[in-house]
């Protein structure tokens, strides 16, 4: 089975590029996606923000690290995940949502980029040509 998650949101941190001992690049960053709605009972607008800890690998990691800055608007597609832990200070159970990014598109223009919507390389999707270790794309299943 394969699950795919699509997120439109703001990057909450500058990317952090690291290299594994085998030389594989991994880039970590966070994405915040906020839902807005009107609460008729309270007669006010509400919002809820969901944070995702994102990671991309290989050449995609290097390209994202070069392009991304905190506050960028991004459209990210990848495999969802979650992990939990016990907070060492409060001893409370904590959880986080993860996304292994396979494709990303930036909606925030860099200085000097065209503001016109077109299909140039600047507006193209950045895609993962490799797969993260242990990901579904690395599994030997034929489906």
Domain assignment of residue 68, yes or no: yes
How much of the chain is helix, strand and coil, in % rounded to 5? Answer: 10, 50, 40
Domain assignment of residue 139, yes or no: no
User: Using only C-alpha atoms, what is the Rg of the chain?
Assistant: 17
Domain assignment of residue 140, yes or no: no
Domain assignment of residue 142, yes or no: no
CATH number, position 76: 2.40.50.140
> How many whole angstroms separate alpha carbon 132 and alpha carbon 135?
5
Q: Which helix (H) or strand (E) holds 59?
A: helix 58-67
Domain assignment of residue 143, yes or no: no
Per-residue model confidence (pLDDT) at position 129: 64
Question: Per-residue pLDDT for 122 more than 50?
Answer: no
The residue range of the domain holding 48 is: 5-134
Per the structure, how many domains does the chain have? Answer: 1
Domain assignment of residue 126, yes or no: yes
Domain assignment of residue 100, yes or no: yes
Q: Which helix (H) or strand (E) holds 137?
A: none
pLDDT in tens, 77-102: 999 999 898 989 999 988 889 999 99
């Amino acid at each position: 089975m394969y699950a795919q998650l699509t997120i439109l949101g703001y990057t909450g941190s500058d990317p952090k590029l690291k290299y594994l001992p085998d030389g594989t690049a991994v880039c970590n960053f966070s994405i915040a996606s906020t839902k807005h709605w009107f609460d008729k009972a309270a007669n006010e607008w509400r919002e809820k923000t969901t944070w995702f800890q994102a990671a991309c690998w290989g050449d995609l990691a290097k390209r994202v690290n070069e392009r991304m800055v905190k506050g960028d608007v991004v459209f990210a597609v990848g495999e969802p995940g979650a992990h939990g832990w016990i907070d060492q200070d409060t001893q409370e159970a904590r959880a986080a949502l993860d996304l292994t990014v396979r494709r990303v598109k930036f909606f925030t223009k860099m200085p000097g980029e065209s503001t016109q919507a077109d299909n140039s390389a600047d507006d193209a999707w950045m895609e993962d040509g490799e797969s993260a270790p242990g990901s579904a794309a690395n599994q030997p299943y034929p489906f």
